[in-house]
Amino acid sequence: MNKRTLSIFVLIIIFAVNEVSALGITPGSFNFDFEPGAAKSIKFSVINSEKKDANFVVLTQGELKDNIYSVSLPEGIFKMTSADGEKNLEYVLKMPASLSPGPHKSEIVVMQLPGQWKGEGETSVEATVGVAAQVNVFVPYPGKYLEASLNAADSEEGGIVFVIPVVSRGKLDIVRVKAIIDIYNLNEKVDTIESEEISILSGERKEIVVKWKSDFLPGTYKAAATILYDEETLKLEKEFNIGDKILDLVDVKVNDFSLGGIAKFELLIESKWSELIKDAYLQMLVYNKEGEVMADFKSATYDVKSLEKTLMVAFWDTDGVREGVYDSSVILNYDRKSAQKDFKLDVSENEIKVIGLGYVISEAGGKKTNSLVVILVVVIAILVLINLSWFLFLRRKLHGNKKVVK
Amino acid sequence: MNKKYILIIDAILILGSLSAVFVFVNYAQPLVIAPIDNYESSNNTVLFEFSKAELILIDENIEFTSPREIYVEDNLVVNFKPGIYYWKVVGALESDIRQLTINSEIDLQLKETNEGYSVVNSGNTPLRVELYENGAYTGEIILDVDESSGVEGDKFVGREDE
């Protein structure tokens, strides 16, 4: 047996041993609004992810387990072969005559049976895997009841957009819903914004959207929203960031250098974040002409103050280094992030020059003008002009001339 | 000028203008090919095929109060999390609103490792995996999409993490 065949054989064995089982189900959840006595169809697919011969059992569990049944699979056991990618099953949920208000959760669980299934009561020591599709029935609360969550995201026009999805979970419609959002930075309230008022029918889902044109400093902020709906209130909170936690390499200098000695790199780092960034450090790499790393050195750790510049120092032992131009990278590490800047070092007998540490500022592409819209507008404008000219001037003039002739 | 000619010019102008507007409106109406309305899949990636439009608006809300805006000239593949979405394309005119549903897919893999077992979330939604040993519940773990974790036990049941 040659080496290649042996490797393939070993790989096959590894895969065969490592993969025990895999199972899928889709959709993973079904949501129904309560209708007393109604029968709801639940169609789902069991996915034989590994395309193996296997036996499966389907169980129901949860509050409504006795109300969920299969017509086609009364025993809840089925088999799939390696040729079967998936099996489509249909269950029925027969809703009871009454249920208490709120959510009611049940599940349809599909378990892969270990080994060959021979009948109930058989035990096995093998590990097995199962997947569950959730069946949720929601009964409206009496009166008015609102469910909401608060999301904050960067707005495309700048600033922050707060999106509050709201669902009316009560039996009664809600006439007035609005959000008042207080914004805090370091526990100090910096702004308050209010949404427009909307109304929501029972069972309806809508979104409250509030845009905040923030001109505040980058940093972490907290939004505390009070949702006022008719006579009730709901409180929500969300932390969000303005800008990114960014440290920027501004300048690199090497003073008092002589080749073969220790080069002291002074790197000026600017924080664009409004809070202290702790334990930041930089790593500097110098590459030889073959692109291999010939020097790898780090600075100590620094606490970089908000919106200030900090000088970081790193040392490079240039013993054995020859004069020349070397590619180099500085990697700034902070707060589980890293940012890299590449430049060149021109090393001579008494000097290291840093080449190419600058910025390319590209013009941001704006939205394109819709040429079709322009053509349409022009054509319609010409048509309007022709019509106006005809009906207001030319037609009257010709009509007038005719009268004069008469 | 003869009244008859004036009326003919009136008619030509009115009919011509209406025809021109009709032709241009039809021409400008975005042509939406895919996905079809009420498209449903457990595949997270959806190919949008259309022409005469350059902006796709996608929202979980039919009123498009906080839409995701994607500028694109040609067809585009968009990644979705499971959920129900409404979308339309905008050119000179807006297309009709279509709905698409991305079903969650629960897919749990169980692998044998030197330390025991490892479970992998191969589906498209975060999973809550219950662990059992000899029929007794021993705990649960949350797995993000494509995340794996070493586990102990002999039965593992995955479900959507709400």
**Distance separating alpha carbons of residues B122 and B109, to the nearest angstrom:** 7
A268-318 pLDDT per residue, tens: 998 888 778 888 899 999 998 888 889 999 998 888 888 888 999 999 999
Q: Are A215 and A174 found together in one domain?
A: yes
Contact B6 A373 (CB under 8 A): no
CATH number of B30-102: 2.60.40.10
Domain-embedded: residue A28: yes
Other CB atoms closer than 10 Å to residue A396's CB: what's the count?
Answer: 11
Q: Which of B108, B153, B155 has the CB atom closest to A23's CB atom?
A: B108
Sign of the four-CA dihedral B142, B145, B147, B153: positive
Name the nearest CA neighbour of A174 among A138, A208, A149, A204: A204
Q: Which domain holds residue A219?
A: 152-242
A66-124 pLDDT per residue, tens: 999 998 788 889 999 988 889 999 999 999 999 999 999 999 999 998 764 444 444 44
Q: Terminal CA-to-CA distance of chain A, rounded, Å?
A: 115
Q: Are A228 and A301 found together in one domain?
A: no
Give the CATH number for residue A272: 2.60.40.10
Contact of A259 with A321, CB cutoff 8 Å: yes
- Which percentage of chain A shows pLDDT scores above 70? 86
Q: Are A41 and A78 found together in one domain?
A: yes
Domain boundary among A242, A274, A300: A242
**Distance separating alpha carbons of residues B24 and B14, to the nearest angstrom:** 15
The pLDDT of residue A340: 85
Q: Are A232 and A252 found together in one domain?
A: no
Q: Chain A contacts of B155, Cβ < 8 Å?
A: 111, 127-130
Domain boundary among A242, A263, A295: A242
Contact A24 B60 (CB under 8 A): no
**Distance separating alpha carbons of residues B31 and B21, to the nearest angstrom:** 18
- Rg (C-alpha) for chain B, rounded Å, is 27
The pLDDT of residue A169: 93
The pLDDT of residue A14: 41
Residues 6+ apart with CB under 8 A from A273: A218, A219, A243, A244, A245, A246, A247, A306, A307
Contact A26 B156 (CB under 8 A): no
- Strands A102-113 vs A54-62: parallel, antiparallel or unpaired: antiparallel
**Distance separating alpha carbons of residues B133 and A291, to the nearest angstrom:** 53
In the block, tokens 């409250």 appear at A208
Q: pLDDT band at B79, cuts 50/70/90? A: confident
Beta bridge partners of A47: A24, A86
**Distance separating alpha carbons of residues A241 and B86, to the nearest angstrom:** 28
Q: Chain B contacts of A22, Cβ < 8 Å?
A: 107-110, 122
Q: Are A96 and A170 found together in one domain?
A: no
Domain-embedded: residue A400: no
Domain-embedded: residue A1: no
Contact B111 A24 (CB under 8 A): no
The pLDDT of residue B57: 92
Question: Could you tell me which chain A residue has the CA closest to the CA of B16?
Answer: A383
Q: Parse chain B into domains and list their residue ranges.
A: 30-102, 108-160
Three-state SS at A234: strand
Q: pLDDT band at A9, cuts 50/70/90? A: very low
Q: Chain B contacts of A156, Cβ < 8 Å?
A: 69
Contact of A353 with A346, CB cutoff 8 Å: yes
Contact A380 B24 (CB under 8 A): yes
Question: Could you tell me which chain A residue has the CA closest to the CA of B93?
Answer: A373
**Is 80 exceeded by the pLDDT of residue A359?**
no
Provide the mean pLDDT of chain A: 83
pTM here is: 0.65
Count up the domains in chain A and report the number.
3
Q: Which of A17, A28, A128 has the CB atom closest to B155's CB atom?
A: A128
